[in-house]
Amino acid sequence: MLPTKAYAALNEKTPLAPFEFNRREVGDKDILIEILYCGVCHSDIHQARGEWGNSIFPMVPGHEIVGKVAKVGSKVTNYKVGDIAGIGCFVDSCRTCPSCSQGEEQYCQGHVSFTYNGTEQDQKTPTHGGYSSQIVVDEKYALKVSPKLDLQAVAPLLCAGITTYSPLRHWKVGPNSKIAILGLGGLGHMGVKFGKAFGAHVTVISTSKSKEADAKRLGADDFLLSTDADAVQKAAERFDLILDTVSAEHDLNSVLSMIKLDGTLVLVGVPPQAPAVHPFSLIPRRRSIAGSMIGGIRETQEMLDFCAEKGIVSDIELIPMSEINNAYVRMIKNDVRYRFVIDMQTL
């Protein structure tokens, strides 16, 4: 076994604290990654604090991992020692179901092994994530990261990046598209960057007028204040697609009014209460509401390659490991532009 240093939630009520555990030995098809940076996702807070009701303690969060390959198994073909590799939200899946067979492992119909707060394929052994010094993963579930990119700012691409890239690709956003990004946070700011990179006309919709300058800095063509009823009315049937990244309660009927005939509202944020949608917000314009998760390994690699080509990374604030509990407090207050990343060399 491989002794590993980490920070963990020992239960849902106490702050994260230093923790040690054992990783498995490197198998024939495994790679050992020395973790350099790990992004902090809002879902880390939900799960570390037991807010989703499925928490396994002790828990080592973190699923936005970038590091250096330190060892490879005897049958590994895609990685060598010294390569830069990434790990996203899952580290294994059943590999045989229709979703896995189509390269959509994130929708595995068997058992997906999430990077943390999950279990390995035996459905017994707990998984631990990236708030740790190292991780062992089958090479099939690792991702190649270009050393041309700022590695600390690459980490959030493994969750926030792919969560926005995947739906924009799936709904074929391109140069003729008029889209809106609802909410300008960790997810939303990546939606703006990808939408512009795909050639779309991008509007940011926000409850906060103070976000307008940042929206334009990130590349948005327009800004719409969602609390301005006149502005919302003037935007009726303007957009082909709205990517809703908001995890607070909000009125979907108002949002739907801004979508064109046959347009789509794609949900990637998860509000605490199920939203109410009136059928007449959909029926008269044949609008759709859809949901999207992360991407599979193939699509996530495609995203990382695209980011390397276009020079796209996240806007981050780098913190030492010792600041993680304060970072959680600040995230709840929306006091981050736009993603915290832990320098794991401070562990």
Q: Into how many domains does the chain fold?
A: 2
In this model, does residue 243 exceed pLDDT 90?
Answer: yes
Report yes or no on 24 lying in a domain.
yes
Report yes or no on 304 lying in a domain.
no
pLDDT of 186-214, one tens digit each? 999 999 999 999 999 999 999 999 999 99
335 and 247, same domain (yes or no): no
170 and 204, same domain (yes or no): yes
71 and 203, same domain (yes or no): no
Report yes or no on 299 lying in a domain.
no
Report yes or no on 177 lying in a domain.
yes
Residue whose entry in the numeric block shows the structure tokens 């991407």: 295
Report yes or no on 303 lying in a domain.
no
| pLDDT of the residue at 280 | 98
Report yes or no on 196 lying in a domain.
yes
Structure tokens at 89: 């939200």
Q: How far apart (Å, rounded) are the C-alpha atoms in residues 25 and 74?
A: 13
145 and 228, same domain (yes or no): no
Residue whose entry in the numeric block shows the structure tokens 């008269």: 284
pLDDT > 90 in the chain, percent: 98
| Confidence tier at 272 by pLDDT (50, 70, 90) | confident
pLDDT of 57-95, one tens digit each? 999 999 999 999 999 999 999 999 999 999 999 999 999
| pLDDT of the residue at 175 | 98
Cβ atoms of 242 and 265 within 8 Å: the answer is yes
192 and 176, same domain (yes or no): yes
Structure tokens at 336: 């981050």
Residue 319 CB neighbours (<10 A): 18
pLDDT of 128-144, one tens digit each? 999 999 999 999 999 99
Cβ atoms of 154 and 145 within 8 Å: the answer is yes
Convert 2-46 into a string of H (helix), E (strand) and C (coil). Answer: EEEEEEEECCCCCCCEEEEEEECCCCCCEEEEEEEEEECCHHHHH
104 and 213, same domain (yes or no): no
In this model, does residue 164 exceed pLDDT 90?
Answer: yes
| pLDDT of the residue at 323 | 98
Mean pLDDT computed over 225-237:
97
282 and 328, same domain (yes or no): no
Length of the chain: 347
- Tell how far CA 202 is from the center of its chain: 20
Residue whose entry in the numeric block shows the structure tokens 């939606």: 191
Q: Show contacts of 315-318: CB within 8 Å, 24+ apart.
A: 315/153, 315/189, 315/218, 315/339, 316/39, 316/152, 316/153, 316/155, 316/156, 316/340, 316/341, 317/341, 318/37, 318/152, 318/342, 318/343
